[in-house]
Amino acid sequence: AQANVGVVGLAAMGASLARNLAHHGNTVAIYNRTPKRTDTLMEQHGDEGAFVPSYTLQDFVDSLIPPRTAIIMVKAGEPTDEMINALADLMQPGDIIVDAGNAYFPDTMRREKEIRARGLHFVGCGVSGGEEGALKGPSMMPGGTEESWQTLKPILESIAAKAEGEPCVTHIGANGAGHFVKMVHNGIEYSDMQLIAESYDLMRRGLGMSANEIGDVFEQWNKSELESYLIEITADVLHEQDKTTGKPLVDIILDHAGMKGTGTWTVQTALSLGVPVTGIAEAVFARGLSSQTALRQGAQAIDFAGPDGSLQLSEQERESFIEDIRHALYASKIVAYAQGFNEITTAAQEYDWKIDLAAVARIWRGGCIIRAKFLNRIAEAFESGQAETSLLFAPYFKEAIEQAQASWRRVVARAAQYGIPTPVFASSLSYFDGLRADRLPAALIQGQRDYFGAHTYQRVDKEGTFHTLWAEEGRPEINA
């Protein structure tokens, strides 16, 4: 045995992770079900570091120094279960199995329980940054026991992205906590992307700007508090020309947004936890609508009357409206993060995880898709204890949203007036206004519920649970 860590599954992600490990002084055992991938990695990258290739799972396990650490990077779902069980059959108590694929956190909780019962450690580890991140430094969110973290820490810190010198990895919490936080990361990613897309639509259709001009705007925005990976790549995407037609590539790409499920999981989980993640939910639904081909074609055929999206602004008004969009984007983005962190806090209570939110914000500063300058501010807000209930309550973000507010309202109002859909801008603003409201119309809903279902209600002026005999003569109220 000579390898201090092993990787099972050498497709795009696994091969990149194995190479990253080797680049940082680890001796890396490698195994893939189909030998060809192992051979290809050795042929093309075998000289990049110390690899120990194996062609059976037994040889792979034997090549690992105890306590063994095996990282699984195979297809999510059934194949991951098969591989976990096959490894557990061959490994010894105290060994560590890491699932670095995209797993749904209840699966991770189940797997952790099963593997722990067999005396081994199971770590569900969220990995963000795609193939390039896996190779050059991802952001990683490991769950599992504190004991397994002690072994994994130096290995994962060696390959993680660095943000201001700090490795973008931290022990998130027990069992499924790591995959949970990775899931919410992806949910926030959905809303970040949709907000950028709504901003683009407002400039393209609303202001009649070219893709190239809008690319320039995003390039400028990337020098502001919006500085982030997604804004940066958006500028590149918009500047790209199609080689065959000479048109902006964005005009040639079919407008059906795909998804692989993590956004949906984030929303489903939020619904069952009772946490409003309206921005993330609208972002998932917007992708859903984009891909409803028959529905969209039907709507085109019916040719609904309505505004065409053109805002008809003067040159001067256009400039200030672009600034409005920038402020609206920032405010809505803050709301999406506030909602995402609320989901984490609520889940932590539900599942008994101790999650350091400031540490989560810090490891998202590098390597991952939502990496952004303002995560430093989020980390500070949680560290100060001022964001415990909501990120929006921290003075920095309270002020930011107050300053953006007038712009945000103009953007949502104009978009509605001229017929450009802005589901995440609008729902984030509604969430903010819902929070601000002294009284909500929920009182009326309670009245309706009590009327048709005798669901009872509480009063503002006295303790107790009440029911009104709404439809009856004299409408008596009874203390239920």
Give binding residues for substrate as ranges.
102, 128-130, 185-186, 190, 260, 287, 449, 455
The torsion angles phi and psi of 126, rounded to 5 degrees, stand at -75, 135
Does 53 interact with ligand NDP (rule: CB under 6 A)? Answer: no
Convert residues 112-131 into a mask of x (bound to ligand NDP by CB under 6 A) and - (unbound): ---------------x--xx
Q: What's the CA gap between 135 and 114, in Å, rounded?
A: 31
**Closest separation between CB of residue 16 and ligand NDP, Å?**
8
Does 161 interact with ligand NDP (rule: CB under 6 A)? Answer: no
Does 79 interact with ligand NDP (rule: CB under 6 A)? Answer: yes
Among the listed residues 146, 162, 189, 319, the single catalytic one is: 189
What residues have CB less than 8 Å from 167, skipping those under 6 apart?
156, 157, 160, 161, 363
Does 102 interact with ligand NDP (rule: CB under 6 A)? Answer: yes
Does 75 interact with ligand NDP (rule: CB under 6 A)? Answer: yes
Does 144 interact with ligand NDP (rule: CB under 6 A)? Answer: no
Q: What angle do CA 403, 409, 411 make, to 5 degrees?
A: 110
Q: Site for ligand NDP (CB under 6 A): which residue of 3, 5, 7, 13?
A: 13
**Closest separation between CB of residue 371 and ligand NDP, Å?**
14
Q: Is 241 helix (H, G, I), strand (E, B) or coil?
A: strand
**Closest separation between CB of residue 134 and ligand NDP, Å?**
7
Q: What's the CA gap between 176 and 106, in Å, rounded?
A: 7
Cα torsion through 388, 393, 396, 398, rounded to 10: 160
**Closest separation between CB of residue 138 and ligand NDP, Å?**
8
Q: What angle do CA 167, 170, 172 make, to 5 degrees?
A: 160
* Binding-site sequence positions for NADP(+): 9-14, 32-34, 74-76, 102
DSSP H or E segment with residue 29: strand 27-31
Q: Site for ligand NDP (CB under 6 A): which residue of 4, 20, 32, 266?
A: 32
Does 82 interact with ligand NDP (rule: CB under 6 A)? Answer: yes
Does 11 interact with ligand NDP (rule: CB under 6 A)? Answer: yes
* 182 belongs to the catalytic site: yes
A 10 A CB-CB count for 60 gives 25
Q: Site for ligand NDP (CB under 6 A): which residue of 6, 9, 142, 248?
A: 9
Does 136 interact with ligand NDP (rule: CB under 6 A)? Answer: no
The torsion angles phi and psi of 303, rounded to 5 degrees, stand at 55, 65
Does 20 interact with ligand NDP (rule: CB under 6 A)? Answer: no
Does 58 interact with ligand NDP (rule: CB under 6 A)? Answer: no
Total residues contacting ligand NDP by CB under 6 A comes to 22
Does 10 interact with ligand NDP (rule: CB under 6 A)? Answer: yes
Closest to 74 in 3D by CA, of 12, 155, 163: 12
The whole-angstrom distance between residue 237's C-alpha and the CA centroid of its chain comes to 21
Does 49 interact with ligand NDP (rule: CB under 6 A)? Answer: no
Q: Which amino acid is at 403?
A: Q
* 354 belongs to the catalytic site: no
Q: Site for ligand NDP (CB under 6 A): which residue of 42, 50, 65, 76?
A: 76
The residue assigned the tokens 């619904």 is: 271
The residue assigned the tokens 């590098």 is: 366
Classify residue 226 as left (phi > 0), alpha (psi -120 to 50) or beta: alpha
Q: What angle do CA 202, 305, 309 make, to 5 degrees?
A: 10
Secondary structure letter of residue 346 according to DSSP: H
Residues that bind ligand NDP (CB under 6 A): 9-14, 32-34, 37, 73-76, 79, 82-83, 101-102, 127, 130-131
Q: Which residues are catalytic?
A: 182, 189
